[in-house]
Amino acid sequence: MLTYLILLLLFLVGLFIERGISRRTAVAYLWGIGMLALAVSGFRDMIGGYDVYIYGEV
């Protein structure tokens, strides 16, 4: 999963460079995508852990 995210980021960097978008804009986009990915993975871990806890209690 992480490998796919890294490949996607590299692809996006290449796309930004090809289109001539400034480096600062590209970095801002990548930072936003990275934060979103971290938030989603953290949220999934939280939900997964909570489900395991509920099932363990039952």
Q: What is the mean pLDDT of each run of 10 residues along the chain (58 residues)?
A: 75 73 77 80 66 53
pLDDT of residue 26: 75
- Total domains in the fold of the chain: 1
pTM of the model: 0.41
Closest CA to 2 of 39, 32, 41: 41
pLDDT score recorded for residue 39: 79
Q: Note whether 29 and 17 are within 8 A (CB).
A: no
CA angle 43, 46, 52 (to 5 degrees): 140
Which domain, by its residues, includes 40?
A: 2-57
